Amino acid sequence: MSGLRSEAGARGGPPLALVNARVIDPASGFDQTGGIVVADGVIADIGPHLARSGAVAASGAHGIEAFDCRGLCLAPGLVDMRVQLREPGEEHKETMATASAAAAAGGVTTMVGLPNTKPVIDDAALVESIARRARETSRVRIYTYGALTRGLAGKELTEIGLLAAAGAVGFTDGTQAVADAQVMRRALLYARIFEKPIIQHPEEPALARNGAMNDGEIAMRLGIPGIPAVAETMMVERDLRLVQLTQGRLHIAHVSTRSAVNAIRRAKARGLNVTCDTAPPYFSLNETAVGDYRTFAKLSPPLRTEADRRAVIDGLKDGTIDAIASDHAPHDTDAKRLPFAQAAFGMIGLETLLCITLELVHNRYLALPAALAKMTHAPAGLLGLNAGRLSKGAAADLFLFDPERPWKIAEKDFHSKSKNSPFDGRPVQGRVLRTWVGGRTVFHLAD
Amino acid sequence: MTSTAPASSFGRFRHRHLLGIEGLSPDEISLLLDLADSYAEQNRAHEKKSSLLRGRTVINLFFENSTRTRTSFELAGKRLGGDVVNMQAEASSIKKGETLIDTATTLNAMLPDVLIVRHPDSGAVQLLSEKVDCAVINAGDGTHEHPTQALLDAVAIRRHKGRLQGLTVAICGDILHSRVARSNIHLLVGMGARVRVIGPPTLVPSTIDRLGVEVFHDMAAGLKDCDIVMMLRLQLERMHGAFVPSTREYFHFYGLTREKLAAAKPDALVMHPGPMNRGVEIDSEVADDIPRSLIREQVEMGVAVRMACLDVLTRNLRSNQAAE
C-alpha cells in the first residue's frame, strides 16, 4: 500500500462497524436491527448487539470506525448469475471495468459471465485469462461459465473437466440452445462427474428462426415474425426428459412462459434435479412494451403475454423459479437503432436488477428477504459459489440500500458503457446507497 | 381550431406522416378517398398538371425493387408540380454499409418536403420518420403495411360498387407475409365492410381474426356471395416446400379460376395488387376478363390516391408553417 491509510474495513485498514442497520441475511433468515463489524475485508462480527454505535465503543475494540446505517437495509451483495461482459472482443459495448462499475452501482458484488465473448471461452487458458483480467480491472468478483460446446457450435463438447479445474462454474452455450438432443444428453451425462450444472437457453431454434418478438396478435399487427411460446416449452420439456434419462444437473435460464414454469414445477415435484432463473423484464413487462417497434424491448427470450408475466411471478412465489439474474446484455446504438428485425436482442440489467425486483416486494408478491434470496445465496448455491451470505469469517461483500426511496431510472445515470434499457424513465422504489467488496467501498451513491 | 388559418379546413387529417392505415379514423380515410376521386377526374383530363406542390421536393427512397409503385408516386408528385427525385438503394450508399438512420439524416439535410419510403423491414419507415423533419409516406414496409395500396383499392371498389359499407370482400392467398392484406383489412373493416381471408393455414396468421375478419381455408366456402375477390401475389420463394408444397398444388386449391369465382356473386369483381403470377394465384382467363377485373383501374387509381396523400400531407406542412 502506497503510504496512504487503507479504508476502514478493508485489508490493512482499521475495523469498520456498520451500525444501526436492518441486517438481512436471507440464507439464515436473520432480519433484525443490528450491525456488522468488518475487519481485514471479512465479516468479524454480526448481530443485534451492534444496533447502536455505543455498543461498538462498549465492546472496547481499538481504533474502530463506526458507520451509521440509519436503519436502512444491509444485505449480502447480490450474486448475478447471468451477465454478458463483452470483454474480450467487444469492448466498445462493455468491459469488465464498466460492467463492474454498473454491478457495484446495482448492489451486485459477484457476477458470472457467459462464454459468448470473442473468442469464445471454450479453453482452460481463456478461463484463467478472464480471472486475471477481472483481478486487474474489476471492482466486483467475476466468475465465468465455460462453453458447453466448442465455439458454441452445438456439436463437440469442450474440455469440461479442464475448464472446471481452471475455474469455470458451469457450462452453457450462452444465448443459444444446444439443439442436438444427443449432444445435450452426453453433456448432461459427462458433466455429472465434475458436479457442475449445465445452463440452457431454452429455445427450440427451428421454431424461433427469424423470429424477433413473441408470436401473437401484436407481432401479427406489426408484421414482425414471431417466436412462439412453445419454442421455449418444447426445449424445456425435452431437456427435462434428458435430465430424467441422465440424472444430470440442469439449470434453465431466463424462463419467460407460463407453460415452461408449469413444466418445471411438475418436474421439481417429481424430484428431478433441475433449477431455473428468470430476469426482471419477464415479471415486470409484457409484449406490449415493444409498442411501435421499440428495439430496447427486443429481448431473447422475447417479452411474452400478460398471462406469462403473471405465471413467472407465481413461479417466483412458490419457489419453482429459484433465482433472478439481470441477463445483462449490453449493445451499442448501432446494434439497436435499426429496423426491429435487424436489431440485436437484449438489454442491460445490472443497475436495474434490484429496483425492478423490489417491485415484487412493494406489490406484496414476495417478502423482502425472499426477494433478496433469489439474488444472493440461491444463485450462489446453484453454482457452488462461496458468496451471498452474511456470516462470521465470510468476505465482507455487502450493500446498503433504502428499499423505499423513490427515483426514476435514467439512461444518463447508467455506469454501463451501453444504455440499452427498456426501463429508461420508469419510476421505481429502492435505491442502492453503498456497496462493499471485501470490505472496500466500490460504490457510493452521490447525494 | 376555428380561429386558425384557412388551411384548418384540412384539419381532418391529423397526422404528419402516413405510416399505415391502422390509426386512421374513418373520416380521415374518407377524406383521402374523396380527394383521390377528384384527382382521378383531373388525371383523365387533357391537362393533368397542377401547381399545388410547386417548389416542394419529394424524394422517392426505395430500399426494395419496385417499378409500378415508384412510378406511380413519381407521376403523382410531378402532376402536382413538385420536384421528384428517385433514389434506389442499389445506386446509393446504403449498400456501402450506411445505416438507415444515417441515410435519414443525410436526406433530411437536403430539406425535402415529403419522403416516400419502401423498405423490406417492418417498422423501418416509422424508424426513419422519427429522424426527419419532413412528412413521410410509407410505400410498403416489410410485412407490416402498404397504406396507399389499400387506399387505391378502396377508391377502385367505391367507384364500382358505390360504397364500402356492407360489402363482402375476400382477401385470398399469402396473408401472413402481406402488407397489402394488413392495410386492406384495417381499411375495409374500419369502413364497415365484411372481410374474409382465405388461404392455407401456413399462410394465414392464427391471430388474424383479432382484426375483425373471418378466416376460411376453403376457397369455395370463402368466396360464397362475395362482392369483391382480392387476390394477393404469392412470393415464389415461399413456395417449394416452405409454406406450401408446390406451385401446382397451390394453384389447385387457391388459384382463382372461373370455376371457383362462380361461388361469388354474379357481379363480383376481381382485384390484384400486381404484378400477377399467372397460373399460380390467378388464371389468365380470369385476370384478362375485362368486365370482371378491376386490375387496370387499380393502377390508374394508384396515381390519384398518391396525389391525394401528397396533397393532404403538404397542406398539413403548410398549415404548420403558417401556425409557427
Give domain limits for chain A. Answer: 16-75+395-406+416-444, 78-383
Q: Which of A320-334, B79-93, B174-188, B190-204 has the lowest mean pLDDT?
A: B79-93
pLDDT score recorded for residue B283:
94
CB distance A287 to A218 below 8 Å: yes
Cα–Cα distance measured from residue A244 to residue A263, given in angstroms and rounded to the nearest whole number: 13
Question: Which one is predicted more confidently, B82 or B97?
Answer: B82
- pLDDT score, position B8: 41
Q: Considering only alpha carbons, which residue of chain A is nearest residue B145?
A: A223
What's the confidence (pLDDT) of residue B67?
A: 87
User: A221 to chain B: nearest residue by CA?
Assistant: B144
Residues B159-209 pLDDT 10s: 999 999 999 999 999 999 999 999 999 999 999 999 999 999 999 999 999
Mutation target vs B (from A214, A293, A295, A305; most B CBs, 10 A cutoff): A293
Rg (CA), chain A: 21
Distance CA B136, CA B142 (A): 16
> DSSP 3-state assignment of B191?
coil
pLDDT value at position B5? 39
Model ipTM over 0.85: yes
Distance, in Å, from the CA atom of A201 to the CA atom of A86, rounded to the nearest integer, reads 18
In this predicted structure, what is the pLDDT of residue A1?
A: 41
Contact A236, A253 (CB under 8 A): no
- CATH pick for A78-383 out of 3.40.1190.20, 3.20.20.140, 3.40.50.970, 1.20.1250.20: 3.20.20.140
Query: What phi and psi, each to the nearest 5 degrees, are found at residue B36?
Result: -60, -40
Sheet strands (E) in B94-176: 114-119, 135-141, 168-172
Contacts of A220 in chain B (CB under 8 A): 205, 207-208, 210-211
Residue of B64, B202, B207, B215 to mutate, interface with A, max A Cβ within 10 Å? B207
Q: Best mutation site among B98, B121, B138, B144 for testing chain A: the one with the most A CBs within 10 Å?
A: B121
Residues 6+ apart with CB under 8 A from A173: A115, A116, A147, A148, A149, A152, A154, A200, A201
- Please state, for a pLDDT cut of 70, what percent of chain A lies above it: 97
Respond yes or no: is residue A180 known to be catalytic. no
What is the pLDDT averaged over residues B148-164? 97
Helix (H, G, I), strand (E, B) or coil at B36: helix
User: A16-75+395-406+416-444: what CATH class?
Assistant: mainly beta
Which of A220, A292, A293 comes nearest B205 by C-beta? A220
Average of per-residue pLDDT across A344-351: 98
B144 with A222: Cβ contact below 8 A: yes
Which chain B residues are within 8 Å of A342, Cβ to Cβ?
Answer: 121
Cross-chain residue pair A340–B22, CB shorter than 8 Å: no
Cell of residue B213, nine digits: 375478419
Higher pLDDT, A404 or B316: A404
Provide the shortest C-alpha distance from residue A420 to chain B (in Å). 16
Q: Are B195 and B209 in contact (CB under 8 A)?
A: no
pLDDT in tens, A60-87: 566 888 999 999 999 999 999 999 999 9
The dihedral built from the CA positions of residue B22, B28, B34 and B39, taken in this order, carries a sign that is negative
Is residue B235 very low, low, confident or very high in pLDDT (cuts 50, 70, 90)?
A: confident
Question: Cα distance from A194 to chain B (closest Cα, Å)?
Answer: 43
Question: Nearest-CA neighbor of A373 among A137, A3, A85, A26?
Answer: A26
Which one-letter amino acid corresponds to residue A300? S
Neighboring chain B residues of A337 at a CB cutoff of 8 Å:
99, 101, 127
The CA–CA distances, whole Å, from B45 to B40, B41, B54, B306 equal 9, 7, 20, 17
For the stretch A129-180, pLDDT in tens is 999 999 999 999 999 999 999 999 999 999 999 999 999 999 999 999 999 9
With beta carbons under 8 A apart, name residues in chain A contacting B126.
Answer: 292-293
Among the partner-chain residues A216, A222, A337, the one whose CB lies closest to the CB of B122 is: A222
Contact A339 B179 (CB under 8 A): no
Place B66 in a pLDDT band, splitting at 50, 70 and 90: confident
Task: Tell if the CB–CB gap between B122 and A340 is shorter than 8 Å.
Answer: yes
Please give the C-alpha separations between residue B210 and each of A226, A351, B110, in angstroms, as whole numbers. Answer: 16, 38, 42
Catalytic residue among A45, A123, A277, A327: A327
Q: pLDDT tens-digit profile of A255-272?
A: 999 999 999 999 999 999
> What three-state secondary structure class fits B214?
strand
Q: Give SS3 for B169.
A: strand
Average of pLDDT values for A4-24?
89
Angle between helices A258-269 and A229-246 (to 10 degrees): 20
Please tell me whether the peptide bond between A281 and the residue prior to it is cis, using omega within 30 degrees of 0: no
Report the pLDDT averaged over residues B30-36: 96
User: Residue B321 above 80 pLDDT?
Assistant: no
Interface of B with A (CB under 8 A): 22, 99-101, 119, 121-124, 126-127, 141-145, 179, 182, 205, 207-208, 210-211
Task: Give the C-alpha separation, A223 to A294, whole Å.
Answer: 14
Residue B37 buriedness (CB in 10 A; 0-12 / 13-18 / 19+): middle
* Cross-chain CB nearest to B123 (options A220, A222, A225): A222
SS (H, E, C) chain A: CCCCCCCCCCCCCCCEEEEEEEEEECCCCEEEEEEEEEECCEEEEEEHHHCCHHHHHHCCCCCCEEEECCCCEEEECEEEEEECCCCCCCCCCCCHHHHHHHHHHCCEEEEEECCCCCCCCCCHHHHHHHHHHHHHHCCCEEEECEECEHHHCCCCECCHHHHHHHCCCCEECCCCCCCCHHHHHHHHHHHHHHCCCEEECCCCHHHHCCCCEECCHHHHHHCCCEECHHHHHHHHHHHHHHHHHHCCCEEECCCCCHHHHHHHHHHHHCCCCEEEEECHHHHHCCHHHHCCCCHHHCCCCCCCCHHHHHHHHHHHHCCCCCEECCCECCCCHHHHCCCHHHCCCCECCCCCHHHHHHHHHHCCCCCHHHHHHCCCHHHHHHHCCCCCCCCCCCECCEEEEEEEEEEECCHHHCCCCCCCCCCCCCEEEEEEEEEEECCEEEEECCC
Q: Are A239 and A250 in contact (CB under 8 A)?
A: yes
Between the alpha carbon of residue B110 and those of residues B56, B129, B134, B253, the distances in Å are: 12, 15, 10, 51
For B268-299, what is each residue's pLDDT tens digit? 999 999 889 999 999 999 999 989 999 999 99
Verify whether the Cβ–Cβ distance A224 to B101 is below 8 Å: no
* A272 touches B at CB < 8 Å: no
Residues A279-305, mean pLDDT to the nearest whole number: 97
Question: pTM for this structure?
Answer: 0.93
